[in-house]
Amino acid sequence: MRFLTAGESHGEALSGIISEYPSGVKIDEDFINYELSRRQKGYGRGGRVKIEADQVKILSGVRKNKSTGSPISFLIFNKDWQNWRQKLQFEESLLNPRPGHADLSGFLKYRLESIRDVIERSSARETAARVCVGAFSKLVLKHLDINIYSYVEQIGNKKLAGTLNALLAGDVNIVQILEDIEKSPVRCPDEEISKLMIEEIDKAKNEGDTLGGKFKVIASGLPPGLGSFDQWDSRFDARVAAAFMSIPSIKVVEIGEGFLAPFFHGKEFHDEIYYDDIRGFYRKTNRAGGIEGGMTNGQPVIITASAKPIPTTVKGLQSVNIKTKNIENSLSERSDVCAVPSAAVVGEAVLAQEILNAFQDKFGKDSLEEVLENYNNYKKYLKEI
């Protein structure tokens, strides 16, 4: 499965094309719209999310509510476009780039007249299209009993203590935790820490400042052997890391306990292998985060990603006018104070898309039926070995 997105933050619409999506998948538009709405939530978002109510419009690749195997194309209209149509034509050139944003390099690279043309495409608004692709992917993963969850671990310096072991282990009895995550305005399952995170966001907002943070994405129900050590670019961890790195603001991607790895000895770090007749091969720990040798190992995949603070601040930062070279404050626009809860939902989407990709590499891409047949065959083989 491959995809492309197009569209600008304040243009008429975002659009996407998904190619090599399997046929025979029931396309539940309500589910796609629900996923889009999850990305729009999150304490700390700015005025824009109140304007938009993202909805997908599918243009091709679906007939009688089922995917046909032809490329799927879709639109997500920007309601704010109506308010920006004129402004985008007559706005004076923006020449004071924001440190931390694409502004300066984008302006120089494309030989532009105004930073506006960088802002419009580099905006994290694009992630709405990515969540849409992720939702299409999740529709397939549902048939494979694969679940993907996310939660926020840290906003500013307010952190969740410890880990959610039930969720990380992919236990079935996690309904309550998931409800708590969805209920929390910051996607954090601990009510007290959620409150502290909200206070932290309010404080940053009052100071005209912004915040970053850290979130986890977990996928459970994966078989061993997705991805490969055959070539550098077929390694599942390499693909997943690239996908997470492509989310705006992400500066760090950690797989399992990757950060702690240097502090362990080999004997302590690696997840020892056990076997019993019911579970087959299993591990008692998951420091590898479900990936060894570029392949899934049958344990839940655990990814942690860190986002830097949003570069658009009310007061601006020290910058230089690109034309006059005079010292100026960086440009200031309506923006979010913190978008980490939304980034976590985008993280789910990119992981879903990478898992579907790896599934299709191993079990076929043309039809859901073919993928299921091949997958069931593989599961049978794993049981019999």
User: Which residues would be at the binding site for ligand EPS (CB under 6 A)?
Assistant: 9, 46, 48-49, 52, 80, 123-125, 127-128, 312, 333-336
Rounded to the nearest 10 degrees, how much is the dihedral formed by the CA atoms of 284, 289, 291, 292?
-60
Question: Angle 272-357-260 (CA atoms, 0-180°, nearest 5)?
Answer: 35
Sign of CA dihedral 12, 97, 210, 252: positive
Q: What is the DSSP string of 30-89?
A: HHHHHHHHHHH--TT--THHHH----EEEEESEETTEE-SSPEEEEEE-TTHHHHHHHHH
Nearer to ligand EPS, 150 or 312 (CB): 312
Which is nearer to ligand EPS, 128 or 167 (by Cβ)? 128
Inter-helix orientation angle 236-245/340-363, to 10°: 150
Residue 93 CB, nearest approach to ligand EPS (Å): 17
| Structure tokens, 52 | 């938009």
Contact 378, 144 (CB under 8 A): no
Q: Which of 18, 131, 140, 19 is nearest to 76 (CA)?
A: 131
Nearer residue to ligand EPS within complex by CB, 127 or 360: 127
Shortest Cβ 123–ligand EPS spacing (Å)? 4
Measured from the CB atom, the residue of 150 and 286 that comes closer to ligand EPS is 150
Distance in Å, CB of 187 to ligand EPS, minimum: 15
Nearer CB in complex with ligand EPS: 226/305: 305
Task: Tell the smallest beta-carbon distance from residue 14 to ligand EPS (Å).
Answer: 9
* Closest residue to ligand EPS: CB criterion: 48
Decide whether 88 or 382 has the Cβ nearer to ligand EPS: 88
Cβ pair 311, 99 in contact under 8 A: yes
Q: How far is the CB of 268 from ligand EPS (least distance, A)?
A: 41
Q: How far is the CB of 286 from ligand EPS (least distance, A)?
A: 32
Neighbour-count burial for 15-27, b at 16+ CB within 10 Å, e otherwise:
bbbbeebbbbbeb
Q: Cβ 317 to ligand EPS, closest distance in Å?
A: 15
Q: How many CA atoms lie within 13 A of 32 on its CB side?
A: 23
Among residues 257 and 336, whose Cβ is nearest to ligand EPS?
336
